[in-house]
Amino acid sequence: MSKIIAGVFGSRILRRKYDSMHEPLCKDRCFCLAARGNFCQDGDVIFCNNVNSLFKALGLQHNPQEWRLFIDSSKVSLKAVLLHNGNKHPSIPVGYAVRMKETYETLKHMLSSIEYSKHSWHICVDLKVIAVLVGLQAGYTKFCCFMCQWDSRDRKKHYIKKVWPKRQFLISGVKNEVNKPLVASEKFSCLHCTSN
């Protein structure tokens, strides 16, 4: 593990398991060594190769419906973290990439590395990442919603029309689709409309 991942992972473990000062700190170090075998490195990507054993090392039950995958990037890194739906447990880092942006290829590599298709968590990301994950064209597009045919350039109906026709299929080359979707659109919620 890199120093950054080890630091983040160690702080999460400290917060979760050893809140009291009565516990010796050496237990934390032993736990880090036990969980270390769950992470691999492939180029600039560090990822958890066995999420179930990581949960066992943390002493948690892994129920994919209780967790959601949060993906975000900064100027220098891309992070994938599991967040508990009820916030009863701290976040668990499962992927980290240095010098990578939120591109289709990078996210495809990250999702395949952490075996997303096996666990199929709900996803919590910003709109840019949603667009990349469902294969939409980047930039100022006419049909920018991944769930409906909301026309962002229709100024007359922009604030009046509430219900837009639903997207039946995500097809490459049609309505700003440029790539095959990496994640099913059911794993997200429509943010600008409640009736769809």
- Decide if 73 is inside a domain: yes
Q: Where are the beta strands (DSSP E) in the chain?
A: 39-42, 45-48, 67-73, 77-84, 92-98, 122-124
- What's the CATH number where 36 sits? 3.30.420
pTM confidence score: 0.65
- For each of the chain's 196 residues, which pLDDT tens digit applies? 566 666 666 666 656 554 444 444 444 444 455 566 788 888 888 888 888 888 888 888 889 899 999 988 887 888 999 999 888 888 888 888 888 888 888 889 988 989 888 998 988 887 777 777 777 766 555 545 555 555 555 556 655 666 655 555 555 445 556 677 777 766 765 444 444 3
DSSP run (H or E) holding 117 = helix 116-119
Q: What DSSP assignment string belongs to 12-32?
A: HHHHHH--STTS-THHHHHHH
- Decide if 85 is inside a domain: yes
- Decide if 52 is inside a domain: yes
- Decide if 98 is inside a domain: yes
Look at the chain and report how many structural domains it folds into. Answer: 1
- Decide if 34 is inside a domain: yes
